[in-house]
Amino acid sequence: MSLINAKGGILSILDDEALIPKTTDQTFVSKVIKSHGNHARIVKSKMGGAVKFGIKHFAGEVTYDASGFLEKNMSKLPDEAGALLLSSSSSLLEEIGKKVQEEVETENRSRGRKAKTVSSGFRQSLEELMQTVNSAEPHFIRCLKPNAAKEPNNFDSKYTYEQMLYSGIFEAVRIRQSGFPMRLLHAEFLERYGRLMPKEQWPQLVGPRQVSPPEKVELLVSALREQLTTSDLPDKG
């Protein structure tokens, strides 16, 4: 994310190029390589002068052909668009032409402002999305198709395995196993699982004899481990 969207990132460089006269797609690619050529996820083109660069995304390496990037990034209609629409016999198109002309006049009056670009709109939308995600507690449900034909009672193991592999499920499990990304506070853990503590040890959880939250968690885990070890669990085969 920082490589693409942060200040000085690829999209920021693309917007800056829109403000500089006589810039080209080649100068944009050159600045990307100059600023981020040593980044672990940037792939330089082996062809000198090529208007291309690559990025190693999570799903794999992607090569971007930057031909036309500067022109396509400008969120602006041709200067003649307003006059053309105003000359239309359609009242709807004429009304649209008035709106276009108003936008052009507003932009001309505020020359000091940055030009409106497609990437700036994308970055704003991405920032709003991340704010929404960070303010919530999202839960994701991954659905798998048992077969490509959508037939009942037909489980294609290879087809299902590929879905799990390419969607990153195995990688997510590996990260969870090695990094323990979900960390509960001791108080939250006790609130959720404290009722599993054997009754004879409750005085250590509540009342005047209670111990500190970390010690409570250790006692709870030890008690549950002992119960599982000594209990005669049924053999489910």
For residue 112, the model assigns a pLDDT of 52
Tokens of 19: 């403000």
For residue 84, the model assigns a pLDDT of 83
For residue 180, the model assigns a pLDDT of 60
pLDDT digits (tens), the chain, 237 positions: 778 888 888 888 988 887 788 889 999 999 999 999 899 899 988 877 778 999 998 778 899 998 988 888 886 767 677 788 888 888 888 888 888 777 777 766 655 556 678 888 888 888 888 888 888 877 778 888 999 998 988 988 889 888 888 888 888 888 777 766 567 788 888 888 888 887 777 777 777 777 888 888 888 888 888 877 765 545 544
CA torsion 114-119-124-130 (nearest 10°) is: -150
For residue 88, the model assigns a pLDDT of 84
Class of domain 2-74+116-125: mainly alpha
For residue 111, the model assigns a pLDDT of 55
Cα separations in angstroms, 57 against 4, 62, 67, 227: 11, 7, 21, 46
Asked if 169 contacts 143 with a C-beta cutoff of 8 angstroms, the reply is no
Tokens of 145: 């198709």
For residue 65, the model assigns a pLDDT of 92
Helix axes 157-166, 169-179, angle to 10 degrees: 60
Domain extent listing, the chain: 2-74+116-125, 81-114, 145-183, 186-230
